[in-house]
Structure 1
Amino acid sequence: MNLFRSFLGFLVLSLMAGAVLWWGISSGQRTQAPALPGDGGLLEYERNTVEIVERYGDGVVFVSVVTRPQEVQLPPGFEFFAPFLQAPPREGAGSGFVIDQEGHILTNHHVVEGAGRITVKFHGDPKEYQARLVGSAPPLDLALLKVNAPREKLVPLVLGDSDRIRVGQKAIAMGNPFGLEFTVTQGIVSAIRENPGAIGDDSGLVPQVIQTDAAINPGNSGGPLLNSRGEVIGINTAILTPTGQFGAAQFAGVGFALPINLVKQYLPDLKAGKTLTAAEIIRNRPRLGVSLIPLSVYPESLRKQYGLPETGLMVQEVERNSPAQKAGLRPPTRYAYIQLPTGETLQVGVDGDVLLKADGVPLTSIAQLRQVLYGKKPGEAVSLEVWRQGRTLTLKVVPQVLR
């Protein structure tokens, strides 16, 4: 009898434990988002990504490049040996995406730089199609190709508005990392930040970049970064490596994309077959007509000596008949010499106007001012907060294209 009672007690406890376990599992399952019917059990946030990939993925292409042999410069009389000393052609690959039914493809300049032959492959098609470089803007790391392919192969992607993106929103990267054709990664827009030197040269022509944690690796360059509507908000261009260098190392969670609104400004020139230099780009952008130096370059002792603000942009020169001159900005009348970390000596003004803010944006670098100016519509004024000999005033200036 005691044995029977022990067994009965064990059985009751087991049933109770099983019921508790079943309740815990079932209640945990009820807290999950319900799967959507008719789409293979996809959740809502998954379906959005899948729909974007299925709709626009065929517009992302694999770009293959064979570079031209590099000639070796030899002294006079040794030209005969030049063909034997040429560096052999190199092969490279990257990504790009179709933007119209004419076959135009956007990519990075560094993907096709020095190319002697360019081919393009579409998703699910092993055939290579010949492409040519139409135009490029090396200072922006931007290039436009045109592919000779059947019209049905061309799936144009929609160019969005990178000025409207918000930190934290979904970001989808498509491309061909490490030669793995048609790869999709997803993350968020991690930041909209001043270009840390990741894209373009040191001319400051790319003032801001989109930072994302969507995985970007070698081979992703030139591919699109899309939002949750499937619109292109940027061109994946660079990554920050664990060593702090921008290059072709493995992704470490920090990638950068060229904002698409900046790209759209130069599409007409690229389609017209132009190769844009830094000087040409600057010449065709609205300017104030001043040369500036950040006060962060000034030694603290020099700033204190002349009672200058800690931050801002000191006016060095004002061009004649420029918007800056018409608005009343004043250049220095006194100068000093400072030594840069490179060992060079630089002459700087010490009593000119200092630009503190532009449209309320504090100015610590010239890139910040350019970002405000480049966002202006023709004829639209910028409001400058100016420090002048210890007092602060506000000036309205209309940027213009100065020839």
Structure 2
Amino acid sequence: MDASRFRSRAGSRVLLPLTGAVCAAALVSGCAGSGSSGASDTTTQAAAPAAANSLQEDYQKVIKDVLPSVVQIQASSDLGSGVVYDDHGHIVTNAHVVGDEKTFKVTAANSTDELTAKLVYTYPEQDLAVIKLEKVPDGLKAATFGDSSKVEVGQITLAMGSPLGLSSSVTQGIVSATGRTVSEGRAGGGTGATIANMVQTSAAINPGNSGGALVNLNGEVIGIPTLAATDPDLGDSAAPGIGFAIPASMVTTVADQVIKDGKVTDSGRAALGITGRTVVDDGYRASGVGVVSVTDGGGADEAGIEAGDVITRFGGTDVTTMQGLSEALAAEKPGDKVRVTYTRDGDEKSAEVTLGEM
């Protein structure tokens, strides 16, 4: 995906065709001379508001249970959201929310008091960070994180955070897709990370939602809202209903390591062992990844890839840009063996590379 298409803003709107709705209503009510009994009509009409009330009660219960675990984070020049991770005052958020800051002002959903938090660790490679409150207030509640493997398309989701500075805001949508690999641009403070297995949602995500909570109707956080699509055909304005959240499994993997060890000790992310840049052909079209340097003892080094080589294929994927190579790598695991095709002095070569860890 084009990194320039993803920023922290989006909207959500649904329009339904009226003709189909009118016909369906007529058939249910029996108003077209169907001969339905009055008792049947009454039962059908009563069931609809009962179901609506039940769903509304589910929404309200989830909001009541989870919103106290979602906080507003204020850096010196940026504002975002965070999720209370444990009873010790650890809060997870996005790396692009904390930026280069070390100290933050935090406001809980059930209070107007500003609390002070310090950075524990930031992990831009996955756009995640952990901060910790200096003093844990009474009543601060840790969120419950769900199982990412159980997230399914069509599940109802609620996005909670502080969009545009409006603290404790909630928007609603569904899980639109799972397993998305998305590259985050660096414009507007992004980290440039390529993130795999993201949850796509139609719940509105706007500036300030980053680092907040994407929640299912069981009251579990299933992701951290991080990116939203923009439409270049509309001058990079918001593309409605296309937002992305880092899956809960990755959030807990990173947060647990940071809290225990003060850093990420096992990223679970594959590395080729090079630094590279996108190169262009004579027509100024992106044509591959030029190897700038090779990590001693890394996968590429062991396979004989050298500085100056141009990588054109990774496994079964043609590679024309550094972003494309990053997205292909995001689908692999450390220790996987991948066939890499490259050119050297005009000759095409290939090598099997055992991937290392980022």
Determine which of 168, 182, 187 is the counterpart of 1:194: 182
Q: Distance in 2 between matches of 1:47 and 1:111?
A: 32
Change (3 A) 1:384 1:66: closer
Which residue number in structure 1 is paired with residue 303 of structure 2?
327
Q: Distance in 1 between matches of 2:107 and 2:70?
A: 10
Q: Distance in 2 between matches of 1:245 and 1:400?
A: 37
| Larger RCO: 1 or 2 (CA < 8 Å, sep 6+) | 2
User: By how many angstroms is 1:361 displaced?
Assistant: 4.3
Which residue number in structure 1 is paired with residue 86 of structure 2?
100
What secondary structure, in the 3-state scheme, does the structure 2 residue paired with 1:153 have? coil
Which residue number in structure 2 is paired with residue 386 of structure 1?
341
Which residue number in structure 1 is paired with residue 282 of structure 2?
299
Q: Distance in 1 between matches of 2:294 and 2:206?
A: 44
Report matched runs for 1:108-119 at 5 Å. 108-109=94-95, 111=97, 114=101, 118-119=105-106
TM-score, normalised with respect to structure 1: 0.59
Which residue number in structure 1 is paired with residue 136 of structure 2?
149
Which residue number in structure 1 is paired with residue 67 of structure 2?
57
Change (3 A) 1:374 1:219: closer
Q: Distance in 1 between matches of 2:31 and 2:245?
A: 53
Which residue number in structure 2 is paired with residue 70 of structure 1?
none
Change (3 A) 1:196 1:285: closer
Q: Distance in 1 between matches of 2:169 and 2:311?
A: 49
Q: Distance in 2 between matches of 1:150 and 1:21?
A: 63
TM-score, normalised with respect to structure 2: 0.65
Q: Distance in 2 between matches of 1:176 and 1:300?
A: 46
Does 1:135 find its partner at 2:92?
A: no
Does 1:225 find its partner at 2:208?
A: no
Report matched runs for 1:238-387 at 5 Å. 238-240=227-229, 244-245=235-236, 252-267=240-255, 270-271=258-259, 286-294=270-278, 297-300=280-283, 312-313=288-289, 315=291, 317-328=293-304, 330-331=305-306, 349=308, 352=309, 354-358=311-315, 360-374=316-330, 376-378=332-334, 380-386=335-341
Does 1:120 find its partner at 2:107?
A: yes
Which residue number in structure 2 is paired with residue 82 of structure 1?
none
Higher strand share: 2
Please, which moves more after superposition, 192-201 or 148-157?
192-201
Does 1:400 find its partner at 2:322?
A: no
Please, which moves more after superposition, 184-193 or 46-55?
46-55
Q: Which protein has the larger Cα radius of gyration, Structure 1 or Structure 2? A: 1
Q: Distance in 2 between matches of 1:224 and 1:237?
A: 10
Q: Distance in 2 between matches of 1:100 and 1:48?
A: 24
* Residue type of the alignment partner of 2:313: L
Q: Distance in 2 between matches of 1:159 and 1:354?
A: 39
Instruction: Give ranges in structure 1 of 5+ residues lacking alignment.
Output: 1-16, 68-89, 304-309, 333-348
Q: Distance in 2 between matches of 1:381 and 1:117?
A: 40
Q: Distance in 2 between matches of 1:363 and 1:165?
A: 31
Question: How many residues align structurally?
Answer: 319
Change (3 A) 1:66 1:32: same
Question: Between the two proteins, what is the percent identity of the paired residues?
Answer: 30
User: By how many angstroms is 1:291 displaced?
Assistant: 3.8
Does 1:41 find its partner at 2:76?
A: no
Which residue number in structure 2 is paired with residue 78 of structure 1?
none
What secondary structure, in the 3-state scheme, does the structure 2 residue paired with 1:214 have? coil
User: By how many angstroms is 1:270 displaced?
Assistant: 4.3
The 8 Å contact of residues 90 and 130 in structure 2, kept in 1 or not, is answered as yes
The 8 Å contact of residues 201 and 242 in structure 2, kept in 1 or not, is answered as yes
Which residue number in structure 2 is paired with residue 13 of structure 1?
none
Change (3 A) 1:326 1:245: same
User: By how many angstroms is 1:353 displaced?
Assistant: 6.0
Q: Distance in 2 between matches of 1:222 and 1:320?
A: 36
User: By how many angstroms is 1:261 displaced?
Assistant: 4.7
* Residue type of the alignment partner of 2:282: P
Change (3 A) 1:143 1:322: closer
What secondary structure, in the 3-state scheme, does the structure 2 residue paired with 1:267 have? helix
